[in-house]
Structure 1
């Protein structure tokens, strides 16, 4: 069902450890070669190409690429009341957490009359992508939109694939979530072509409803498959992106006190996302490893997406990793840098403080990753593929720029003029110094 990797009694360098750990092979370069012509065609042909691509990839030709505002508004009326209540509570919690994320402006007085101020400025416009392949993700609408709104972004557009059984509209729960968040610019566009539309903008067809242009954005965010990741790589530099999100990952650091049923259920919960999803258990307990393996058999047989889950658990990206002790386990999870890291051990909170690489950390038996996917208040758009070593999850910071404002008066400039000239001359750029001397 799932591979075992035994690291007990072995002293490995960082390089050797990384080679031992499981990881999905995702060929973004190959995907980039596939999507590059798509990006070029969308840039050239706009809405006409978007319709052709929807017919090709989604099996439906949307009448409206931009979903009519009245359709978005009406979607709330048919939303299941329990789902609506859950979405509204998710929105409330995510707003509360993200409202606390905005960094403070500051002013530094270096000397009388010498001042540097820094202020945080939101980007003008963002494009938020919401997948719609193996599953639909109204929760991703919340995560992307709330973070951008908390940052102060004034222009937000959402794109999600057209659904054949919805007459070419995005999933109705996705539309209803947009309505709950006061988003009325939504496009029935999926995949790499949505990224291209956001990056380059797209003119509407003259012969179909006189559609409004989709104006270019400044930042594109949101999860997606390898082709979405490749498209984001290709447009980076034209627009900002959050990350090249890959298949989801869960790592669990657990000792013999962990409940095998909880651990197995959490591994399965993430494996159901995608056949390439990674599920990794790191433990010093051989007894727990065996119990989890037994529980996985029962849970996989009973789950709705059995084949998908089984493929993910049997893949090279998933494993049970045996370690000597929790110290070695901590070294392993820090080297792995999981998107989601659960810690189910004695002293879990103290161990969590020593984790240096994880997209999000879930502490204790009652903080499963599923909580973070929906209702914790944290953001579930997180770095994958080891990117947690250097990248953060989506948040208010993803939509802000730090702008420094420099203001010196004559006396404060004169006080450092000779030093500026000395440095300019040392760099062979005398005109820099002359620009200062000219003022005196």
Structure 2
């Protein structure tokens, strides 16, 4: 709560689209899942966004970020509970610290990504499973309506239980996802096909051949190299001293996450760091055991383990030094996102811009700011010049190197979209955004 209140941030591109889709449902229309460069829809996230839009109105964007910060806190606590249940409380506490210190996980929360709620549900499902309590499949089904990785985890859960009457649970989330696609677009596998097509259009890294190198790079950037290196050590020690049955839950998170990451390469989807968040959590758990598992050991093994952990802690301290620039980057990113939001709101407040939108379409160089604008200007016609240029209305341009690089260019986009149409005249500016208007 405190971080959310002090650090004013706003959702990312995908999340703003979910807010827009949620509002469209409230208005009695089907969500525009087939819009130009629209992201993959996540059924439960659309429902959450609709509720937040209904309760908080235009401030639903800030409310969504708050939900993600709360989910991040639940994720950290759940990591501790899972680690404590499997490896002991000290190992669980260190694993939770690794998760809390990850700049990537913090940024996902600050930008309203779907990942924090998804990860919180997955980890707490793991807690219930590790503590042999009911409710794990319910949480996995909910997680499966946020990200498809949970489908594999639900399947692994069923294989562990091996109860035929519970088999339908495995198919609930995929069926509801396909049903949503079918109702809205007429194509039950729209999400898979559109995600693959968008990845190709934008020139993103795809293909099975990129999976191994991306795995090493992404894991190292998410949990930092010292944690990634300690994880296999912790996995071996856990197998050696507490047995493979006791580590089934973190092992399932690791294996299930890796399987789905490989699956993205097989299906030709974009290979992104966010697709490795589940195995990253598992690595934090195993790394915590590698360093502090000696608290559960005895005798000579404990003495040797203490010495080895002390040496590894020195390497961990070096990792903290490496982490500092990442946290600085997160702060800089948050400042830039605030500036983007303020620039957009200031631009919309200009009478010349409002007049231009009444007689034409508001366009940006690329698709990147389209959902943000749609959220704040519900009734306006809004698009991207990378899709189609208009002969009247408002053309918005980004000023400054970082803003131009972020919002003026995108893979597969012609750079000329950043050149004003001679028929338009400069009319207004807000922050690092400037508007040209033609309203004959």
TM (normalized to structure 1)? 0.23
Q: Which of 1 and 2 has greater Rg?
A: 1
Q: Which of the two has greater strand per residue?
A: 1
Q: Which of the two has greater helix per residue?
A: 2
Higher relative contact order (CA 8 A, sep 6+): 1
TM (normalized to structure 2)? 0.23
